Copies of this chain bind each other. A is one copy, B any other.
Amino acid sequence: MKVFNFSAGPSTLPKEVLLEAQKDFVDYKGTGMSVTEMSHRSKAYDEIHIEAIALLKKLLNISDEYEVLFVQGGASTQFSAVPLNLLHNKADYILTGNFAKKAYEEAKRFGEINVCASSEDKNFTYIPEGKEINISKDADYVHITQNNTVFGTRYINLPQTDVPIVSDMSSNILSEVIDVNKFGLIYAGAQKNIAPAGVTIVIVRKDLINQPQTICPTMLMYKTHAKANSLYNTPPCFSIYMAMLVFRWLDKLGGIKEMQKINEYKANLLYDYIDNSKMFKNNVEKKFRSIMNVIFNTGDQDLDAKFVKEATEHGIISIKGYKLLGGMRASIYNAMPVEGVEYLIDFMKKFEMENK
């Protein structure tokens, strides 16, 4: 049976990347070793590591004012690492979903944190903009969650501010063109748009990382990893190798600009169908709709459950919505082919016909 994996993360990886990794799995390029068992100080691994960093810099057009780090622990660990490295006076957080709230709750443990905007008043169906946001002029940073995996929203415009913007891009990194120079720090768990779970990307302005709080664990200090080019201790080599292959795949495809076009095409296909459907609806304010995570429901919990069950039987995997929200969620990250979205829409049409 054909299978399309709509999981919010870990998520679909490009088939050609998986096939290449499989081919080289036991004997990487004639070394006689698997990437899973190579010393992180070996020449073969070093080449992978260097290429991964170089390709990420190329894809995102990252200047030398930034460090590119590969760390561990997922975005959840960054919820602590960000304040432990950047918070000296106070910081502002914009609440646009449950991960934004988690980041905020954790940061409060390490200093003065102010909520400068929130969309909780409308159950996170929009993104605060313009005058809805009041950033403290003396904040060390303002934290945003740029794409909200659970609530299916994304920022269209960044907050207008001179305060460094810290962005959790776990679910939208490499999916659309961004200007890295507008950010103080970007972090992203790799398991949605980049690689298998186990590596976290941090892109941070070099001038921001020199004064971590005294209580910051050494392994959570950005400067530890910056000084060692992310080889302070053993990195998650295999995840970084897979990231490198995905970066190559993206580069070959034409980079982020081309990827964004495909992502917008896929998302529009699905939203257009939903907006024209009599059964399915999406209640996110249109301009803020995520192009990565498309949420929808029938308004009837039993019918939602029936949809999820039958979809799964048809090879539409992990389509159930996040427990907080119910309904359905189609995560259509970079590696989800157009064919997968079409397959989902065909099934939705059939389901709507059979259950009207």
Contact = CB atoms under 8 A, between A and B. Distances in A.
In the A-B complex, the 6 residue pairs with the smallest Cβ-Cβ separation, listed nearest first, are A3-B32, A80-B217, A198-B236, A36-B196, A7-B39, A198-B198
A9 B236 CA distance: 12
Interface string A197-238: 111000000000000001101111000000000001111111
A219 B82 CA distance: 13
Nearest to A30: B1
Interface stretch (A19-27, A118-126, A258-266, A292-300): A19-27
A47 to B, nearest CB: 15
Contact of A32 (B1, B10, B198): B1
Interface of A: 1-3, 5, 7-13, 15, 18-19, 21-22, 25-26, 31-42, 72-77, 79-81, 84, 106, 109-110, 189, 191, 195-199, 214-215, 217-220, 232-239, 242, 315, 317-318
Nearest to A81: B217
B9 A234 contact: yes
B26 A19 contact: yes
Contact of A236 (B13, B109, B239): B239
A232 B74 CA distance: 11
Contact of A72 (B31, B72, B110, B215): B72
Given A74-B233, A77-B217, A80-B219, A197 B9 contact: no
Contacts of A232: 76
Contacts of A9: 39, 234
A318 B198 contact: no
A325 B42 CA distance: 18
B198 A238 contact: yes
Contact of A238 (B8, B34, B189, B238): B238
A38 B10 contact: yes
Contacts of A199: 198
24 contacts: A5-B39, A8-B39, A10-B39, A10-B234, A12-B37, A13-B36, A18-B26, A22-B25, A32-B315, A42-B317, A73-B77, A74-B219, A77-B219, A106-B218, A109-B214, A109-B218, A189-B234, A196-B236, A196-B238, A215-B215, A217-B217, A236-B236, A236-B239, A238-B239
Copies in the complex: 2
A75 B315 CA distance: 40
Contacts of A25: 18, 21-22, 25
A59 to B, nearest CB: 20
Contacts of A40: 10, 197
A72 B2 CA distance: 34
A155 B173 CA distance: 47
Contact of A80 (B35, B39, B218): B218
A40 to B, nearest CB: 6
A36 B22 contact: no
A242 B239 CA distance: 13
B196 A237 contact: yes
A42 B217 contact: no
Contacts of A237: 10, 196-198
Contacts of A234: 9-10, 74, 189, 191, 197
A26 to B, nearest CB: 5
Contacts of A7: 37-39, 42
